[in-house]
């Protein structure tokens, strides 16, 4: 699951800035020197720490098969694991943002627990089987 949701995310769901059913969400990779802050609001707040490398495109990858489901009082946001192929780079974090919103509003961040490196291979961000995050 995500390490944390950005503080503004809850507000943006409530006021309709983020439409979890219809918007396009992207996942970008950040260097291990990034300093996460729940107070960050838009992708511009973290983009200076975005990685670069072979097989990685600036702005990250579009999340595929996004679902937003509810069971009882728990709403779960899920997607397929994002994958970069023939990749050579290292990353310490993945950040999810709403690419449909005017300012690319941040949703959540995943801390890899250290720098992860790939060389001419496949880099996969394994999302939790219980979803990327849950609202209870």
Q: Kind of pairing, strands 25-30 and 61-62?
A: antiparallel
- Four-CA torsion 106, 108, 113, 116, nearest 10 degrees: -60
pLDDT at 102 over 90: no
At 78, the pLDDT band (50, 70, 90 cuts) reads: very high
Residue 122 is predicted with a pLDDT of 97
Q: Quick: pLDDT tens for 2-39.
A: 899 999 998 999 999 999 989 999 999 999 999 999 99
Q: How far is C-alpha 99 from the chain's CA centre?
A: 11
Residue 136 is predicted with a pLDDT of 83
Q: Quick: pLDDT tens for 37-74.
A: 999 999 999 999 999 999 999 999 999 999 999 999 99
* Cβ atoms within 10 Å, residue 58: 9
Report the largest interatomic distance among the alpha carbons of the chain, rounded to a whole angstrom.
Answer: 44
Residue 135 is predicted with a pLDDT of 87
Q: Please, are residues 110 and 45 in contact by the beta-carbon 8 Å criterion?
A: no
Residue 131 is predicted with a pLDDT of 92
Q: How long, in residues, is the chain?
A: 136
pLDDT at 1 over 80: no
Section 61-90 average pLDDT: 95
């Amino acid at each position: 699951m995500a390490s944390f949701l950005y503080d503004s995310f809850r507000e943006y769901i409530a006021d309709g800035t983020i439409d979890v059913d219809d918007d396009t969400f992207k996942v970008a990779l950040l260097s291990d020197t990034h300093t996460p802050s729940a107070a960050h609001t838009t992708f511009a707040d973290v983009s200076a720490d975005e990685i670069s490398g072979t097989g990685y495109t600036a702005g990250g990858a579009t999340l595929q098969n996004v679902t937003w489901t509810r069971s009882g009082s728990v709403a779960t946001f899920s997607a397929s694991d994002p994958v970069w192929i023939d990749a050579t780079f290292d990353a310490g974090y993945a950040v999810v943002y709403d690419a449909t919103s005017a300012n690319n509003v941040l949703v959540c961040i995943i801390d890899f627990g250290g720098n992860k490196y790939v060389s001419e291979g496949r880099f996969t961000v394994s999302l939790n089987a219980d979803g990327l995050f849950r609202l209870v």
